[in-house]
Chains A and B, each alone.
Chain A
């Protein structure tokens, strides 16, 4: 079962929560693998079961059934071993806002068994990485939301874990901070670390993730690279070419191309819907040149992941909540 290139193997994981009136299935028979060194996106609307799945993988919760392996360890049996190889940046901050940035990292470093002789050096390295060296001795309560997030992400990376879990890393951040966090995540990925990212922001997943799993109502809907997911859309990409005048024979030539799905003629514009349109575009331009038609404008629009998700599940990702409440254990007892 152990394969080298799959660092996470999830086998038929289900999680059922008992509620007062009955039970709620938060995760429903999910199986997939995550490859070593990739940034893997877990996408879905709020309440889709992303966080529950993450909680199971990070040993915070036991699955109702199924198994999951992180590297060579099973999450329910070797939970202490698992905790040694993962870094977690949870959705809700767990930084101590009364301590300084440095103290937070030092404290965490001791919890995750970073050797004292290298700890100080490592902390400064991470603070530089997060661009927070000059704020090392500021209390976390004085840092901005983006700074805190970056601090929390590098904290999860303190002990050089094999797998880094980032649960909604940019939720509630302004665009500038989001970009900084993304940059941070990309930098971490160059250190050969596998990153599991949950988000319900399409642009984030598209920008960062090598592969994406769509989750809805606790089920795995689809899993592939962002490009392939988009290819699965029957509508393909939309190419718009502006030109002053042309004859219909050109359109006929275009239509014969096997990638083309449909061609429409509008005033001064030809709209072409095609699979893998970015490959097709140079071919089209060559055709135009051959027939001596001058192109005045070019635009190509991919279907967004949002469109893909909409197509696959029939509902929108953002501003969308499924009816599954996710209980937070450890709260009310």
Chain B
């Protein structure tokens, strides 16, 4: 009767530490340029090694320019941080998926390339110095966002000192209405359970709606678990998971594949599993959802008025109680990020964009989540559709989700964004304003020039 969380936790528990915490083995460690250089320095200072270098993989995503990845970068800080990671990976024997303008690279956002390469597998414990590591739970892994001192711990020992989490089962049942996406589901979950409702919990997502979702959609859901306070989110592995993984570069092959599938199946939460809490959500009640405030729980359905006591958020965003977000003029449209920067996100947005034009006052960006996503999108001609509509077609990276590279808001610009955080200043300007929504809703806002209910324009697409 254990849950997947308990089975995976127990399989990776090395021992109970004198502090009372569990020493947990980490099966896959993902590293990027921003939260790791200090960790590597500490390893050197203490004379520690990296005993499991083959269990760590690195890439450059946060700071990488998306206009051109030609080295050396014009941004000298980006070049310095990238060089530091290259040096650290060489010194400790860690595989790096490096940036570059060559055609065959595998650089990308850590949470996009892990699953894409088949590095992320069911039953693994995964850690990365990034809070959106919860994404990997979409494949039935238990994945923790960690800080730099913990990156150091994983490098030095391949372990973390952690306390176990409680498990909240979230069932989403029924059929989503047309024009409602995984992004709307997770924004609705966060709105209902609160931005700190998940503290102390792992979120196990299930129910008929989640069962029918693709891995890409499940990744969107698990990705934003942390925005609801839950450090870990996961979906039990099933046939969809196995089909997604089969044939990927690091996935098991031949007879090992069959043994792997058998093990993965055994890890799913038992039918009679005991949960610390349960929540049920009716998919039919979910509308296309947009945030209006300064945390991801401050959202409304597109047809709904804002009702809040958070005057700070209203003042910052320039909204009033009773107002709808629909009709809000936007300056920038951003499609990308570890939440919604995968091929299916770009395909869905491109289908909507085809034959239309971005409003003349809107700067619109499409940033693929990885070089592989970019290649696949170009093979399908999506780059041409976006470019013809007036979107800028960029290289892979985190880009305007957190604006550590030149992609950023100016002044108090309003951005319709497919990313995950609408915090004050998140997109690079202290007074910039972010409206989170699905990639299709971003595309609709880019074309209309104002936030709009994409469903009204979807009918034209299907006609």
User: Are A and B interaction partners?
Assistant: no
Spell out B's residues near A (CB within 8 Å).
none
